Amino acid sequence: MKIIKTKNLKVNILEKYLTYNDINIDKWAFVYIKWCNWSWKTTLLKVLSWFIEYEWKIMKNENINIWYYFQDFFLIDDFTIKENIELVVWYNINNGQENIIYDFLSSFNILSLYNIKVKHLSLWQKQIICFLRMVVSNSEILLFDEPSSNLDVENRLKLNNKILKLSSEWKTIFFTSHYSQDEEYFLKNIKDEKFVLINIDNENK
C-alpha cells in the first residue's frame, strides 16, 4: 500500500524552483534521505508534512497523521517538559503514555528535569524532548530532520535505537542526518524490503 506518492514535485524557494524525483513510499517503510544541500532535504520534509506550499499535489491518505521533527524544536520555553508534552495530547496523558515518558526520560538521565522549564535546558536536552513529543503523539508517519545533530555519540546511539523500535511498531519513518554512522546503522538494522534510499544530492544541479 502506497502511503505517500509525489509526481513532478517542485517548490518555489526564494524565486528558485527546487525539483524532486517522484517518490512512491509504501506503508511502514523506513526512508533515508541523503543530501548535499540542507535546504533541499528540509524543504522536502516540510512539503511532505504540508508546512509549505508546492506545485503538483502530493497524493496521500487524508486520515494519516504526520508528525514533523523541527530542527528549531518549537517548544514553549516558559512551559515545563511535562507541559510541553501535555500539549501534544491535549492535557490528557494516560497511564501508558506516562510510563513511556518516564522510561524515555530515565534512559537519557533527565527524568529529574520533568518539571523544569524548557528555557533552562541545554540544546541536546531540548532535542530529546522534541523527539519524545513525537513518540507520545502516536502519529503514523514520522519525519525526522537531523534528530541527533546536537547529541554525543552515546546519546545518538540511544536515539537511533528508539527510532529503530518505532520502525518495528508499524510506523512510516523519514530520516535525515549528516552523520555517516547513522546511515550505516540503519542500513545494518532495517530489513532490506523496508529500507528506501532517496538520494537528492544530484537533483537541482
Give the pLDDT of residue 105: 97
Give the pLDDT of residue 60: 56
Q: Does 181 map to a domain?
A: yes
Q: Could you tell me if 47 and 58 are in contact, meaning their C-beta atoms sit under 8 angstroms apart?
A: yes
Span 11-20, pLDDT tens digits: 777 667 777 8
Q: Does 182 map to a domain?
A: yes
How many domains does the chain contain in total? 1
Q: Does 92 map to a domain?
A: yes
CB neighbour list of residue 170: distance below 8 Å, 6 or more residues apart: 28, 140
Rounded (10°) angle between helices 153-168 and 180-189:
30
Q: Could you tell me if 45 and 68 are in contact, meaning their C-beta atoms sit under 8 angstroms apart?
A: yes
Task: State the CATH number of the domain containing residue 173.
Answer: 3.40.50.300
Span 39-71, pLDDT tens digits: 678 888 888 877 555 554 455 555 667 878 777
Q: Does 204 map to a domain?
A: no
Full domain range(s) for residue 126: 2-35+44-199
Give the pLDDT of residue 36: 63
Average pLDDT (68-78) is 83
Q: Which residue has the higher pLDDT, 65 or 171?
A: 171
Span 95-119, pLDDT tens digits: 888 999 999 999 999 999 999 999 9
pTM reported for the whole predicted model: 0.86
Q: How confident is the model at residue 163 (pLDDT cuts 50, 70, 90)?
A: very high
Q: Does 205 map to a domain?
A: no
Give the pLDDT of residue 35: 72
Of the candidates 142, 197, 133, 180, which has an alpha carbon nearest to the alpha carbon of residue 164? Answer: 142
Q: Does 115 map to a domain?
A: yes
